[in-house]
Amino acid sequence: MENRMLDPIRFPIGQFEPTINITDEDRNNLIHQIPEMSHRLRAITQDLSPIQLDTSYEGWTIRQIIHHLTDNDMNAYLRFKRALTEDEPMSNTYREDLWAELHDYQQIPIEDSIFLLELLHRRFYILLRGMGPVDFHKKLRTAVLGSITLNIALQRFVWHNRHHMAQIESLIDKYS
């Protein structure tokens, strides 16, 4: 019961639940959200002070969440490219908790990560727009999720960005 009470804080938009039989229209809607995600992140964080950036949300600061989004999205982009060019590749895992403790997360301005996200999302958008419906049925394997299609990986990618932006917005609202 205690975990259920924490879920709205930890998962402000709910936990990830994939749509198994996604339509072309739904997929296109997800793809079109990608270029806007980094712009939205820039908009919601542009006026934050260093103190606000170092405010913790469930153990991570806003600064760490922003840098994590960049690391995660770079990994996701590479997973997609591997799934498009290899037969059900195993995606590498990484210790995101330990990455968040590395020196660069404290030293690199969030502007650098947001700028990198804008460029990465532009490339990802172009890659996704060039894929045919059959490409989204290609698979990759993960240690946590097992074998998943690129349809599900796309949904998770968009959910993951929305999830962390909702955490940041929740924290901003809490201290406004």
Q: What is the pTM of this model?
A: 0.93
33-77 tens-digit pLDDT: 999 999 999 999 999 999 999 988 778 999 999 999 999 999 999
> Is 81 within 8 Å of 138 (Cβ atoms)?
no
Of 134, 164, 165, which is closest to residue 44 (Cα–Cα)? 165
The full set of domain ranges for the chain reads 24-174
Number of other CB atoms surrounding residue 31 within 10 Å = 18
Element (H, E) at 139: strand 139-142
> Is 48 within 8 Å of 172 (Cβ atoms)?
yes
> What does the alpha-carbon distance between residue 167 and residue 171 come to, in Å, rounded to a whole number?
6
User: What 3-state class would DSSP assign to 147?
Assistant: strand
91-134 tens-digit pLDDT: 988 999 999 999 999 999 999 999 999 999 999 999 999 999 99
Domain 24-174 has CATH 1.20.120.450: yes
> Is 153 within 8 Å of 83 (Cβ atoms)?
yes
